[in-house]
């Protein structure tokens, strides 16, 4: 997963396409949560959501056209103050088709949002299989049902409850709204520490005019910091700068 919030509309061509470990490159070779197969493709779908003025827009592709030339050209042409993007490695038994690629469009408190997720919510698998959707799609529906005013406090409270009530490998998520991006890292601490450190991750890179978050850093430049477990951040553009607020849950 990847998110970028900028002080003014800007390209994400570097992060999405041309960086040494861009999101497109990660679709072919990135970390996997399997000790016997630590690296491999995340090519079961891809997508990007961005702000176009006050409108949240989404473009995505299924497995057969993941990061093809047409999708790459559309990603190259984007200029936005906030975007999120995702490569999918489907959980076993869940539907694989274009509609199941992330990000998902939704609405929270009457406002449009887009959402993507990394990990498995075991508590939602049975419902996802029976409805031919994904646990991530049901995760967004749950957030939309429970959160009526979208802010850091409301999301923090809900995530704390989900982390107590659900069985999961990771709840890691990115949520795009007209205000900016919310991002959180929450993995099951009883799992393999090696997997937690390398796969269920979010890294933050702060620059003068933008902040980028990514499951895996897109390059080896200095400044990438790992977000601690059970941490949520809010990124928004404000008076020519990007503000990051952070809380634990």
Q: Give dist(CA 36, CA 235) in Å, integer.
A: 36
* Distance of alpha carbon 194 from the chain centroid: 21
Out of 3.60.20.10, 3.40.1010.10, 3.40.430.10, 3.40.50.620, select the CATH number for domain 2-248: 3.60.20.10
Residue 247 half-sphere exposure, CB side, CA atoms within 13 Å?
15
- Is residue 169 within 8 Å of 122, Cβ to Cβ? yes
In angstroms, rounded to a whole number, what is the distance separating the alpha carbons of residues 23 and 212? 12
- pLDDT tens readout for residues 95-142: 999 999 999 999 999 999 999 999 999 999 999 999 999 999 999 999
Q: Tens-digit pLDDT profile for the chain (249 aa)?
A: 999 999 999 999 999 999 999 999 999 999 999 888 999 999 999 999 999 999 999 999 999 999 999 999 999 999 999 999 999 999 999 999 999 999 999 999 999 999 999 999 999 999 999 999 999 999 999 999 999 999 999 999 999 999 999 999 999 999 999 999 999 999 998 878 888 888 999 999 999 999 999 999 999 999 999 999 999 999 999 999 999 999 999
Question: φ, ψ for residue 176 (rounded to 5)?
Answer: -100, 130
């Amino acid at each position: 997963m990847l998110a970028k919030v900028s002080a003014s509309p800007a390209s994400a061509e570097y992060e999405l396409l041309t960086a040494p470990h861009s999101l497109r490159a990660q679709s072919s070779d990135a970390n996997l949560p399997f000790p016997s197969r630590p690296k491999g493709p995340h090519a079961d779908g891809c997508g990007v959501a961005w702000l176009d003025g006050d409108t949240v827009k989404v473009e995505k592709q299924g497995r057969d056209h993941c990061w093809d030339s047409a999708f790459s050209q559309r990603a190259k042409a984007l200029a936005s103050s906030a975007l999120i993007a995702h490569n999918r490695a489907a959980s076993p038994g869940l539907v694989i088709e274009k509609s199941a690629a992330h990000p998902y469009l939704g609405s929270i408190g009457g406002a449009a949002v887009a959402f993507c997720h990394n990990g498995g919510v075991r508590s939602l698998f049975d419902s996802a299989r029976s409805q031919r959707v994904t646990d991530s799609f049901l995760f967004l529906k749950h957030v939309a049902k429970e959160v009526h005013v979208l802010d850091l406090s409301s999301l923090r409270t809900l995530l704390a409850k989900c982390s107590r009530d659900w069985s999961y490998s990771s709840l890691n998520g990115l949520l795009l709204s007209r205000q900016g991006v919310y991002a959180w890292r929450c993995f099951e601490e009883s799992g393999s520490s090696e997997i937690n450190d390398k796969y269920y991750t979010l890294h933050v890179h702060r620059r003068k005019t933008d902040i980028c978050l990514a499951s895996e850093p897109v390059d080896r430049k200095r400044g990438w910091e790992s977000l601690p477990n059970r941490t949520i951040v809010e990124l928004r553009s404000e008076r020519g700068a990007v503000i990051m607020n952070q809380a634990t849950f």
